[in-house]
Amino acid sequence: MAWQEPCVAALARVERTDFLSPVCIGEVANVSAEITYTSRHSVEVQVNVMSENILTGAKKVTNKATLWYVPLSLKNVNKVVEVPPIQYARKEQEDEGKKRYEEQKLDRLETKQRNGDVILPVINPDRQTKEPHTVGYSQSSLIHLVGPSDCTLLGFVHGGVTMKLMDEVAGIVAARHCKTNIVTASVDAINFHEKIKKGCVITVSGRMTFTSNKSMEIEVFVDADPFVDEPRERYRAVSAFFTYVSLSKEGKPLPVPQLLTETEDEKRRFEEGKGRYLQTKAKRQAQMQQQAAQQ
Amino acid sequence: MAWQEPCVAALARVERTDFLSPVCIGEVANVSAEITYTSRHSVEVQVNVMSENILTGAKKVTNKATLWYVPLSLKNVNKVVEVPPIQYARKEQEDEGKKRYEEQKLDRLETKQRNGDVILPVINPDRQTKEPHTVGYSQSSLIHLVGPSDCTLLGFVHGGVTMKLMDEVAGIVAARHCKTNIVTASVDAINFHEKIKKGCVITVSGRMTFTSNKSMEIEVFVDADPFVDEPRERYRAVSAFFTYVSLSKEGKPLPVPQLLTETEDEKRRFEEGKGRYLQTKAKRQAQMQQQAAQQ
Amino acid sequence: MAWQEPCVAALARVERTDFLSPVCIGEVANVSAEITYTSRHSVEVQVNVMSENILTGAKKVTNKATLWYVPLSLKNVNKVVEVPPIQYARKEQEDEGKKRYEEQKLDRLETKQRNGDVILPVINPDRQTKEPHTVGYSQSSLIHLVGPSDCTLLGFVHGGVTMKLMDEVAGIVAARHCKTNIVTASVDAINFHEKIKKGCVITVSGRMTFTSNKSMEIEVFVDADPFVDEPRERYRAVSAFFTYVSLSKEGKPLPVPQLLTETEDEKRRFEEGKGRYLQTKAKRQAQMQQQAAQQ
């Protein structure tokens, strides 16, 4: 890529990602990436992760992810640089990319509004006073001071650092709810609404929103407190939904205890979660039918 | 907290800490903290660590610690900022806090003087020429170049980095002495006499000072060499006493071989260590009697 | 050491290193180092690593290494500072040091020329289309963005970070070739031709060059892309040969499948590797005879 001016790519969004199979210790992870669409100010990158057992040579697709980046000027990190267009092999590819671009733009907008609406304090409660399987019983949060080694060259938090902390909190929520081994099944689109600067204290909070028979949906927020050098309020920086499944010691999926909703908000969020669950299920079935038809 | 000007908190002292039970892999550590006293230029923070086994829900107090911080101005790290006073629920709390404040101030002063008195080179000796169970046989040291990822935002070493290295050296001393598994039982007050800057080389040295039937006391020094950008001599930055116990493979406490003292200094330090041991023992017994009386 | 002006030591070269025995988890590594020769602009440092099993007290030499450093001015990292001469115990030591200095200088020059000659793209190929045991089948590469925590105080990559990535890639090449457990037996002289700055993307590539009955030689390149803030081409920063052996599950050496060379370049490199192998073998036999004669 030849940019007009020196820039860095800031992660703006990770599309819904399914974790198809785990990478085991000693395996080699092969990561490949390509640019699949460019808008005037953003770049879509498709990443494929394959795990390879070197001894047997066996390979498995671990996960595929789609990431959106925004190029920022190295001289002025608040300036978004223009992206030089890429060449598409077929006109179709450009059209499909544009469709994906418009969809994610809409979704980002919607999430931003939802973030404005609902800002709930999620503090580690005294779990002793809460009934098991309620939302309050499993909700969890952690705080983290953003240090130099969490940051990119420009002094902003690496997207990967935030995502790891989000997965950690979501995993604790899931394990507290079902008291078994749990594993991340998928991550819904993650939107990075705002950059987080070195020196911020971030609060990562998770609460369960929905359970199906075999899965749990957990909403995770990242809030940043730029308390050190800016006279600025705490702000919502990232938000996402994680889906976990419960596993037996042998690695078999287990039934998940149903989430007990108490307040009106909890009931509403449960219904919204159910909507996302049914939508994803329908989409997956449509894909499977399409694939079956193509074979 | 609303400070008058932007500042960071520099760790000045960690009070004596007992390690009551270990945190196991897979457990969730719950850390909570509150400000319990403020003087004009320092803040006392009480930290509680609980470990939670998510699968069983069982919780245990892992350790409690009291830390003293000094706020430094972000614009001038050599300037100590004034601390806005906190509100106490009862007058009694303020009085007790003041007592703790005066006590630690005295102890810091005393340690500083002791540091001035005794500066001993602790170099890894040729253990082959030393008799087992002598001070020289187990004494150990390591050096570490303070890099960017060891530091806070202002470029000074994190207290936690220093404490980890101190525990590492003390653990090697203890294991070399008794040739069994060992575990940290307590850490005596750690005083951070001076800040350590990025680019310093630090030498962490440990030597055994005292053994009881079931425990070993190890003195640990941290000396800093600001060799890169300052025309300054090596200085004593941190010092503390660590207490270790020896464990069998089943995790049961084992008798500890007695420390063989050879020089006058070693004999004097052994007696001083015995004094600290008996004092701590008496204090603990008094606490237990008090607790028994309250029940 | 009293330098005329504040400086840092940049790693310029690591001489051939044999790994004599592994350091196991829980063992203490004792590292000692001394300056053994100084030229006007470089310093030779001998490092010895011993592993100590604390419980049994047993010690083993793990490896010995010779490193060459060049002191750079802290005020201007492009300026090499003059090295104050050291005192030698015997005139002989100085002469031997000078001989080592001249030899490494020649070897550095030779490697630099070879680097200029051969710049091959080593991209992860589709292994499915390659025959097992060919060069193309096992060749591997990884990319890494040099972040703040990879760097020294002056913002250049730590030699140790580069060496770890090189060992990682070489290990993957070796494991892909023989599909067994593998272990590093030795690293040929590593030359650090040029510094790598924070913000570079480095590509670490490895390809097998030679196999004997029991060992594999892998050539590893590190290329740096200073794409962020310099209008400069990708350049070869480091190169080295690693030797691996194949191990059974019980840790016994296994025969290594012979490398299949396809192109003229591969055949030439195989012969060059054979030359290095025979030279090292002859040197080791001469040393053993010398040692036997001295006893």
pLDDT in tens, A220-277: 999 998 866 666 788 889 989 999 999 888 888 999 999 999 999 999 999 999 999 9
Q: How much is the average pLDDT of C163-171?
A: 93
Confidence of residue B230 (pLDDT cuts 50, 70, 90): low
User: Is B292 touching A (CB cutoff 8 A)?
Assistant: no
ipTM: 0.73
Q: How much is the average pLDDT of C200-224?
A: 93
Q: How much is the average pLDDT of B101-123?
A: 71
Helix, coil or strand: residue A261: coil
Helix, coil or strand: residue A195: coil
CA–CA distances in Å: residue B77 to residues A243, B225, C202: 45, 19, 36
CA distance B216 to C248: 43
The reported pLDDT for the residue numbered B287 is 84
Residue of A nearest to B2 (CA): A227
Residue of C nearest to B141 (CA): C30
User: Which tens digits make up the pLDDT trace of C174-210?
Assistant: 999 999 889 999 998 888 888 888 888 899 999 999 9
C114 CA to centre of own chain: 16
Chain C positions in Cβ-Cβ contact with residue A57 (cut-off 8 Å): 127, 179
CB contact under 8 A, C54 and B179: yes
How many CB pairs (< 8 A) connect A and C?
Answer: 30
C140, C203 contact by CB (below 8 A): no
Q: Which of A127, A148, A180 sits opposite B151 (nearest CB)?
A: A148
Q: Side chain identity at B181, as an amino acid letter?
A: N
Chain C positions in Cβ-Cβ contact with residue B148 (cut-off 8 Å): 148-149, 151, 153
Q: Tokens 């001071």 sit at which residue? A: A145
* Between residues B262 and C8, the one the model is more confident about: B262
Chain C positions in Cβ-Cβ contact with residue B172 (cut-off 8 Å): 28, 54
The set of chains that have 3 or more CB pairs under 8 A with C is A, B
Residue window 57-76, chain C: list those with CB within 8 Å of chain B: 57, 74
Chain C positions in Cβ-Cβ contact with residue A8 (cut-off 8 Å): 228
CA distance B222 to B161: 12
**Does residue B79 have a pLDDT over 90?**
no
**Which stretch of A244-248, B92-96, C110-114 has the lowest confidence by average pLDDT?**
C110-114
CB contact under 8 A, B172 and C28: yes
* Between residues B289 and C2, the one the model is more confident about: B289
The reported pLDDT for the residue numbered B126 is 57
The reported pLDDT for the residue numbered C79 is 87
The reported pLDDT for the residue numbered B73 is 86
Helix, coil or strand: residue B217: strand
Residue of C nearest to A27 (CA): C172
Chain C positions in Cβ-Cβ contact with residue A74 (cut-off 8 Å): 228-229
CA distance C74 to C80: 10
User: Is C147 touching B (CB cutoff 8 A)?
Assistant: no
**Which stretch of B87-101, C114-128, C130-144 has the lowest confidence by average pLDDT?**
C114-128
CA distance B147 to C188: 28
**Does residue A214 have a pLDDT over 50?**
yes
Residue window 196-225, chain A: list those with CB within 8 Å of chain B: 198-199
Residue of A nearest to C149 (CA): A149
CA distance C258 to C132: 10
Q: How much is the average pLDDT of A180-190?
A: 89
**Which alpha helices (DSSP H) does C121-222 contain, by range?**
135-138, 159-178
Dihedral (Cα; C133, C137, C141, C142), 10-degree rounding? -110
Residue of C nearest to A9 (CA): C228
Query: Which of B27, B52, B54 should we substitute to test contact with A (largest number of A Cβ atoms within 10 Å)?
Result: B54
CB contact under 8 A, A153 and C199: yes
Rounded to 5°, the CA angle C157-C163-C169 comes to 120
Closest Cα of chain A to B153: distance in Å?
7
Structure tokens at C84: 């104050």
User: Which tens digits make up the pLDDT trace of B14-55?
Assistant: 988 888 887 788 888 888 899 999 999 999 999 999 898 888
Q: Tokens 């059209």 sit at which residue? A: A95
The reported pLDDT for the residue numbered B217 is 96
CA–CA distances in Å: residue A178 to residues A139, A175, A215, A278: 12, 5, 10, 22
The pTM is what? 0.80
CA distance A205 to A111: 17
Category of C274 on φ-ψ map: left (φ > 0), alpha (ψ -120 to 50) or beta: alpha
- Residue B150's nearest CA partner among C9, C148, A202 is C148
CA distance A204 to B61: 24
**Does residue A97 have a pLDDT over 80?**
yes
The reported pLDDT for the residue numbered C255 is 96
Chain C positions in Cβ-Cβ contact with residue A156 (cut-off 8 Å): none
CA distance C45 to C43: 6
Confidence of residue A1 (pLDDT cuts 50, 70, 90): very low
CA distance B6 to B132: 53
Q: How much is the average pLDDT of C50-66?
A: 86
Query: Which of A129, A138, A139, A142 should we substitute to test contact with B (largest number of B Cβ atoms within 10 Å)?
Result: A142
- Burial class from Cβ neighbours inside 10 Å (0-12, 13-18, 19+) for residue B36 reads middle
Q: How many CA atoms lie within 13 A of A276 on its CB side?
A: 22
The reported pLDDT for the residue numbered C96 is 93
The reported pLDDT for the residue numbered C16 is 86
Q: Which of B149, B179, B198 sits opposite C57 (nearest CB)?
A: B179
CB contact under 8 A, C55 and B175: yes
The reported pLDDT for the residue numbered B1 is 46
**Does residue A290 have a pLDDT over 90?**
no
The reported pLDDT for the residue numbered B2 is 47
Q: How much is the average pLDDT of C103-130?
A: 67
Mean pLDDT of chain A: 86
**Does residue C93 have a pLDDT over 80?**
yes
Q: How much is the average pLDDT of A183-192?
A: 89
User: Which tens digits make up the pLDDT trace of B214-228?
Assistant: 999 999 999 998 866
CA distance A165 to B234: 39
User: Is C2 touching B (CB cutoff 8 A)?
Assistant: no
User: Is C28 touching B (CB cutoff 8 A)?
Assistant: yes
